[in-house]
Structures are given as C-alpha cells and as structure tokens.
Amino acid sequence: MTFNLDTAPELAPISVGGITAYIQELLEQDGQLRQVWITGEVSSTNHHRRGLFFTLTDPQDKAAISCVAWNGQLEKLAQIPVMGEQVIVLGSIRLYPGRGQYQLTVWQSLPAGVGLLALRYRQLRGFLQAEGLFDNERKKPLPPHPQIVAVVTSASAAAWGDTQKTLGQRYPGLHVLFSPAIVQGEQAPASIIKAIERVEKDKRAEVLILARGGGATEELACFNDERVVRAIANCSIPVITGIGHQRDESLADLVADAYAHTPTAAAEQVVPELTTLYAEHQERLQGLQRAATGQIASVQNRLHRLQSRLQRLPLERQIQQQKQLIGWQKQQLVQVTQNQLQNVTLHCRFLQEKLATLDPKAVLKRGYAVLRTEKGAIARSSSELAKEQELLVQLGTGQVKVKVTEIFDK
C-alpha cells in the first residue's frame, strides 16, 4: 500500500490505549470467547501470589495461549495444571492492556483423556454410593442349585464360549438362556440394558451372568455407565458379573449381587461341581448312619443298666417294674425310630430325585446318545472325526457301532 504524505493527517491516528481498548472490546464481547473449553498440554507454570499462571500449548499446531487461575478459583479446580500433563480448561478470553496481550482466565480445569475418565468414574461412584446402590443389605443371594441360568454377553466373544464350557462341565443338564448384547462401544449400554430386560421378561432364569473378556479401560467404559448400573440394581434376578480385568472394580461389579474377575470364575460361582454334590451326598448318608448307630447303642446301654437294677429287686416287683419300663421304652423307641425313619426317608428321596436330574444316563433314556471313538473318548466336535472312522454310539440301553460317511461342519 502506498501512502501520500500530503494526506497523512487525514488518517486520524489512534492512540495505543485506544486501539487496545477497541481490541479488548472485540475479544471480551464475543459470545464464543466468554465461555470456552480449551484442551492442551501444560508447557510451563508459575505460582504467583495472586494466582497460578501457566501456558497451554498445542504441539501439533505449534500454538500456545497464556492462562491464569486466580487464587480464589484455585481450590475449586478439579485438576491443578501440572507441567507436561494434558488438561481441559474452561474460561473466558481477557486482554491485559499493560502488555497488549490476551490470556485465558480459567474457571475450571479437568484432566484430559484417561484422567478425565477416571475423574468421571470417581464422581459417579461417589454419587451412586451415597444413594446406597452398593450397600450389602440390598444384594440378593445367589441360588445354591440353579436349574436355569441366563448369560448376557456378546455372541462372538470368547466369554460366551468359556461360560458355556464351564457351566456344562460343572453342572450337566443345566439349562442356559443366552441373551446377546454388544459389550463395547457407544451402543453397548443400551444393548446391555435390553438384554437384561429380555431375561427378566422371560421369567425363567434363577440367576444372570453379565460377562465380557478383558480389554482396555475405554473398551470397558460401558460397565461404568450409569444406565447399566441402574439396570443391574433394578434387576429382580440375582446378577453376577464376570468382566475380565485386573484393575479396580467397575461400577457394574460394585452394584452386582456378586462379581468375579473372569467369565469362567463367575460361572464357577454360579453352579456347584457335580463331584462336590456327590461327595456332600455321601457325607450326609454316612452322617445318618452314624446317628442311627449311636442312637441304637445308647438305647442298648440303657436297657443293660435297667436289667442290672431289676436283678437286685424282689422277683414279683422286678417283673412288674420290668413290664412297665419295657412298655415305656418300647413306646419311646418306636416313636423315635418312626420319626427318624420318616426324616431319613424324606431326605433320601429328595437326594435320589436330585441325583436323578444329574444322572447322565437319564439324559440318554430321553432319546439322546453319546458318541465315542474306538478308544473310548467322547466326540465333541465334527472337526475331531474323519470319514470311514468307526464310532461307538451309547444309547439309553446298549451300544451300536457306526461308520462316518459324511461330515458336516455346521
């Protein structure tokens, strides 16, 4: 631009104060700059007697902005800016006329990235804990011997296969209801809630397993979602979580009636092992036998003592007293024996019915069959077999030998 010296006075020069005031008005009256969130890396800090002065930088764009948090606002900050950390700050743009520089007056400072997630986690955890959602008094006990178990997880996740395998090995004959859900990403919370609602609407499950394999913190964020936490808290069915992580418990773990660190561990808590049930049954039978033997021995000892006393009395009196005592003892013994026999019979009948539901042979009698190789190993997958291979089929009664002619993968 070319200036004519003859017309220079007509430009009406503005003072430094005037142009500074004009720029200050433009900045501070801009609605977007009155309340703005800015994220960046703290590159320097200076603790002044009036407050904390620091600089936020953007290494990628090589930009920087000066910031100040006055002393009256410092104690209200969720995160004090520290050099080298990423933060998110809320403030307004102000112009410092003495230096002709603009700066950000900070009202709030939050950690960025993982730090922000951790802060939100702590705040939500404290809020829900104060509400009483994590109290032990509201937790429901898991059923000792459930017959129908529901599992909420992803159909493509390893957690579903691990849970199925563990439940099948520990408790044969168990009925498992699968309610699929998305367990990662923005759609996960709503999907998990719908899966839980499906189980409740079905009304058959006695316990619900919410499972997922391991993952990074952000991948497990759905289990810290308030909507998921409240869905678990409001579920009428006992809920156990099996989320594969070794970090602090998720909010879903804290609100659940029980939790484990892996899907397999959750399945192990839900159902007892068949061998354990059988051992407990044997212990009960042995206990009943010992009790009956002890009762009979006690009665025999009393009879021996009475006989000894009767021998020292006159004959007629002995006979009379003996008749009375024998009659009384007979009534007592018959009554006690009948009561014990009735209790033992009822308990044995219950155990027989329980064992009958767990007996693999009972499954075979209903029309199912067990396929074994010639070496006796159970064939569990078509991938383990080969054409022309001879197999043994165990039926409810007897066995037959077959030969594989065709293999279907699906």
pLDDT tens digits for range 124-152: 888 898 999 999 999 999 998 899 999 99
Whole-Å CA distances, 68 to 71, 78, 135:
9, 15, 42
Sign of the Cα torsion 369, 371, 376, 380 reads negative
Q: What is the DSSP letter of 9?
A: G
Can you identify the CATH homologous superfamily of domain 133-270? Response regulator (3.40.50.2300)
3-state secondary structure 333-377: HHHHHHHHHHHHHHHHHHHHHHHHHHCHHHHHHCCCCEEEECCCC
**Of 271, 275, 301, 281, the residue nearest 348 (C-alpha):** 281
pLDDT digits (tens, 9 = 90+) for 197-223: 999 999 999 999 999 987 766 678 889
Residues 6 or more apart in contact with residue 357 via CB below 8 angstroms: 147, 173
**Which CATH architecture best describes the domain 12-112?**
Beta Barrel (2.40)
Q: Residue 288: its pLDDT value, please?
A: 85
Please check whether the two domains, 12-112 and 133-270, share a CATH topology: no
Q: What distance in Å separates the CA atoms of residue 277 and residue 352, rounded to the nearest whole number?
A: 12
Q: What distance in Å separates the CA atoms of residue 166 and residue 263, rounded to the nearest whole number?
A: 9
* Minimum mean pLDDT range among 204-208, 246-250, 394-398: 246-250
Q: What distance in Å separates the CA atoms of residue 46 and residue 66, rounded to the nearest whole number?
A: 11
Name the most confidently modeled range: 89-98, 275-284, 317-326.
89-98
Q: What is the DSSP letter of 35?
A: S
Q: What is the mean pLDDT of residues 95-105?
A: 86
Domains of the chain by residue range: 12-112, 133-270, 274-358, 364-403
Q: What is the DSSP string of 258-279?
A: EEESSHHHHHHHHS--HHHHHH
